[in-house]
Amino acid sequence: MEDNDKLKKEIGEIIRTMNNEKQNKLMMITDATNRTIVNILLLNHFLKKEKTCGIFITFDRPHQYIKKILDIQGIDHSNLTFIDAISLISGDTAAQDNSSSLFMNGPYKIPLFHDLVARCYSNNRHKKQIDLRQMSFIMIDDISALCLYNKEEIVKRFILDFLSHIDKLDAFIVSFALDDNYNKELYTFIKKYCDKEVFIDPEENVLIHRNQESVAVMVVETETTRTRLQNLMIRRSKNIIPTRGQGVIT
Amino acid sequence: MNYEFPRIESGIKGLDTHIEGGFPHPSVQLVAGPAGTGKTTFTQKFLFSGADNGEKGVYFTTLSEPPQWVIRYLSKFDYVNKDHMGSKVEFVDLSKVIRDGDPERILDFIDDNIGRTMAKRIVIDPVTVIESFIGEDYRPFLFDLVNHLKNWQAVTILTGEVKQGEDYPSDAAYSSDGVILLTYVEDDGARRKHLEILKMRGTCHRTGKLSFSITKEDGIVILSGKF
């Protein structure tokens, strides 16, 4: 994370620009294996730099893994409300033992956003109200995981409803970290509604703005950067898309 | 909207064509076999290939070989970029915490190191020795371990020593998403090595034994002929 100072600065610029332009939906495209780091970079900005309050919804894994990384990175998460939709079916009960976070019964039958917020409960089973007006950002990890548990129309309905709620709130940023190589349909769907799309690779320390046609728009400053970018694009273009062949599925 | 598993390249020359292009991400794969079949070499190639692509890896040694000796023999392979040692590939010794025999402490130690490094590729070599120290807690430990490892969003290889009379270490095999068996057969006075993909969840994988060799340049190389 110390190597990503440049990225942290660029992320800060993006959020600031979005706030100034009254934009609130950010799509961060990154390789699936980099999603965690990208989320941490965003949380670093919101929690450490801006010291704002927000919500982190986990559909993919219990929230304590992100909490642990935040602790190690020295990022205070007392202003972050976790809504954990997966712990109860994860077999990983540690998060539920002594957590002040909120839980859902599961990532399936995903309700509309307003119901999701109303239905989640704290560990002692008391309903805890989240006041969205106190929040400055929402992050979802991982929006594509919803496709594992819900039909396409339900996922789309959730996303549209979620985004319409966001639009009613002031000074709110919502971000999706997504791998467009593996989730093309979902990416194409969400992209229509996002104000800004960037491609980010923390390993190469690269952030590329994409325009409406998802074409990279970037000024390449040095030859080193150009070479790194070329290597990154070559590597990304070789991203493995599974192909069916002879054999058995187990 | 179908959900396709991201996959990461195994780093093993000739293997990925048999497993739909790579290991599902995240997942836990067991590589098992008797001594000398190339388990450690397999894991090292996995880690160093990832490191060449910028992916952080952690190699946990248990009670087979301390990191010092692993690195010493590893350095003879050409594919090892020594710049990665201690940076993109970290070596962590689990032996002390394993000897205490407390499954929760072992898990916490592993979690702490993965959280610290944010590794995308993890190796625990070998995992089977842990059973001697935690006894009947071994199966629930494996359940928790596999869960934790996948929730760290990494691809992990556990290695398993195969005892005499067993085909593969069953507890670890049942807990893992994939099982790759390394064996050798004696043929005209020589030992020929074979790799077999016994299972890999969510993957249309090749069945049957595949011959492989170990070379200085590439580590494990799957040969094109099928046994």
Asked if A44 and A75 count as a contact pair (C-beta separation under 8 A), the reply is yes
**Whole-angstrom distance, CA of residue A249 vs CA of residue B201:** 7
Q: Which residue has the higher pLDDT, A85 or A214?
A: A85
**A237 close contact with B: CB closer than 8 A:** no
Nearest to A33 among B8, B21, B150 (CB): B8
The mean per-residue pLDDT over the stretch A27-56 comes to: 90
Per residue, the 3-state secondary structure of chain B, as one string, reads: CCCCCCEECCCCECCHHHCCCCEECCEEEEEEECCCCCHHHHHHHHHHHHHHCCCCEEEEECCCCCHHHHHHHHCCCCCCCHHHECCCEEEEECHHHHHCCCHHHHHHHHHHHHHHHCCCEEEEECCHHHHHHHHHHHHHHHHHHHHHHHHCCCEEEEEEECCCCCCCCHHHHHHCCEEEEEEEEEECCEEEEEEEEEEECCCEECCCEEEEEEECCCEEEEEEEEC
- Write down the pLDDT at residue A250: 41
User: Are A240 and B9 within 8 A, CB to CB?
Assistant: yes
CA distances from A225 to A30, A229, B40, B180 (A): 18, 6, 36, 40
User: Are A182 and B2 within 8 A, CB to CB?
Assistant: no
User: Are B204 and A90 within 8 A, CB to CB?
Assistant: no
User: Are B5 and A242 within 8 A, CB to CB?
Assistant: yes
Nearest to A235 among B2, B53, B207 (CB): B53
At B39, the pLDDT band (50, 70, 90 cuts) reads very high
Residue in chain B closest to A234 (alpha carbons) equals: B53
Asked if B148 and A92 count as a contact pair (C-beta separation under 8 A), the reply is yes
- Tell whether the model's pLDDT for residue B127 goes beyond 50: yes
Mean of the per-residue pLDDT values of chain A: 78
The mean per-residue pLDDT over the stretch A207-213 comes to: 65
- Write down the pLDDT at residue B215: 93
- Write down the pLDDT at residue A229: 59
- Tell whether the model's pLDDT for residue A244 goes beyond 80: no
Mean of the per-residue pLDDT values of chain B: 91
The mean per-residue pLDDT over the stretch B28-53 comes to: 95
- Tell whether the model's pLDDT for residue B78 goes beyond 80: yes
Nearest to B115 among A72, A90, A203 (CB): A72
Q: Which residue has the higher pLDDT, A176 or B8?
A: B8
- Write down the pLDDT at residue A217: 46
- Write down the pLDDT at residue A236: 61
- Tell whether the model's pLDDT for residue A192 goes beyond 80: yes
Backbone phi, psi, residue B47, to 5°: -70, -45
User: Are B1 and A183 within 8 A, CB to CB?
Assistant: yes
Residue in chain B closest to A187 (alpha carbons) equals: B1
**Whole-angstrom distance, CA of residue B222 vs CA of residue A104:** 46
User: Are A68 and B55 within 8 A, CB to CB?
Assistant: no
The mean per-residue pLDDT over the stretch A231-248 comes to: 49
Q: Which of A126, A131, A142 is nearest to A81 (CA)?
A: A131
Nearest to B111 among A68, A144, A243 (CB): A68
**A76 close contact with B: CB closer than 8 A:** no
Backbone phi, psi, residue A191, to 5°: -55, -35
Angle between helices A35-43 and A5-20 (to 10 degrees): 60
**A231 close contact with B: CB closer than 8 A:** no
H or E element at residue A216: strand A216-217
**Whole-angstrom distance, CA of residue B95 vs CA of residue B98:** 5
At B88, the pLDDT band (50, 70, 90 cuts) reads very high
Q: Which residue has the higher pLDDT, B201 or A99?
A: B201
The mean per-residue pLDDT over the stretch A178-202 comes to: 85
Residue B90: left if φ>0, alpha if ψ -120 to 50, beta else—which one? Answer: beta
- Tell whether the model's pLDDT for residue B43 goes beyond 80: yes
Q: What is the per-residue pLDDT across A93-127, written as a single tens digit (0 to 9) for each? A: 666 655 668 888 888 888 898 888 888 876 655 55
Residue in chain B closest to A58 (alpha carbons) equals: B151
Q: Which residues of B touch A160 (CB under 8 A)?
A: none
**A92 close contact with B: CB closer than 8 A:** yes
How many CB pairs (< 8 A) connect A and B?
106
Residues above pLDDT 90, as percent of chain A: 19
At A1, the pLDDT band (50, 70, 90 cuts) reads low
Query: Mean pLDDT highest for which of A114-123, A188-197, A238-247, B175-184?
Result: B175-184
H or E element at residue A207: strand A206-210
Nearest to B199 among A243, A246, A250 (CB): A250
- Tell whether the model's pLDDT for residue B221 goes beyond 70: yes
User: Are B21 and A185 within 8 A, CB to CB?
Assistant: no
The mean per-residue pLDDT over the stretch B134-158 comes to: 95
- Tell whether the model's pLDDT for residue A214 goes beyond 50: no
B150 class by beta-carbon count within 10 Å (0-12 exposed, 13-18 middle, 19+ buried):
buried
Distance from CA of A170 to the nearest CA of B (A): 31
Residue in chain A closest to B176 (alpha carbons) equals: A250
H or E element at residue A66: helix A64-72
Tokens linked to B196: 């077999």
- Chain B interface residues (partner A, CB cutoff 8 A): 1-9, 16-18, 20-22, 25, 53-55, 111, 115-116, 118, 120, 143-144, 147-148, 150-153, 199-207
Supply the pTM of this predicted model.
0.82
Distance from CA of B38 to the nearest CA of A (A): 24
- Write down the pLDDT at residue A118: 82
User: Are B153 and A36 within 8 A, CB to CB?
Assistant: yes
Tokens linked to A43: 């949380």
Q: What is the per-residue pLDDT across B175-192, written as a single tens digit (0 to 9) for each? A: 999 999 999 888 788 888
Tokens linked to B98: 């394993």
**Whole-angstrom distance, CA of residue B173 vs CA of residue B199:** 9
Tokens linked to B226: 């099928």
Distance from CA of A163 to the nearest CA of B (A): 19
Nearest to A243 among B21, B148, B201 (CB): B21
